[in-house]
Amino acid sequence: DVKVTQSSRYLVKRTGEKVFLECVQDMDHENMFWYRQDPGLGLRLIYFSYDVKMKEKGDIPEGYSVSREKKERFSLILESASTNQTSMYLCASSLFFSRTGLGNTEAFFGQGTRLTVV
């Protein structure tokens, strides 16, 4: 069974703290993504990575950074947490398009991390 695992389901952090959200996948996927989910706004892409040490900014990268040192692990870093970063964070992975030749390759999601910054 395919699996994307996020290290925490719930986190509470203080303003100004450096926060690490970890995500691991066991499907040998090239692509990994971090999304942020807020009520009424749907899912918005923060960053994605299509290879080890490669990263691309998504729609809302400000205040975030990422790290991908190993193929199976993709970390989201909040350099200095702020209250407006309180949200649900979702990690996902998928095969690289060119490997499958199919544009309908879906993304697999983790359970999400609900982060509260106080």
Partner 1 sequence: AQSVTQLGSHVSVSEGALVLLRCNYSSSVPPYLFWYVQYPNQGLQLLLKYTSAATLVKGINGFEAEFKKSETSFHLTKPSAHMRDAAEYFCAVRGRGSQGNLIFGKGTKLSVKP
Q: Are 21 and 7 in contact (CB under 8 A)?
A: yes
Of 12-20, 36-44, 69-77, 78-86, which part binds partner 1 (CB under 8 A)?
Answer: 36-44
Nearer to partner 1, 50 or 72 (CB): 50
Alpha helices by DSSP H, the chain: 97-100
- List beta partners, residue 54: none
Instruction: Provide Rg for the chain, Cα atoms.
Output: 14
Binding residues for partner 1 restricted to 47-86, rule: CB under 8 A = 48, 50, 56, 58
Cα(94)–Cα(71) distance, integer angstroms: 12
For residue 51, the minimal CB distance to partner 1 (Å) is 10
Residues that bind partner 1 (CB under 8 A): 4, 9, 31, 33, 35, 40-45, 48, 50, 56, 58, 90, 92, 94-98, 103-112, 114
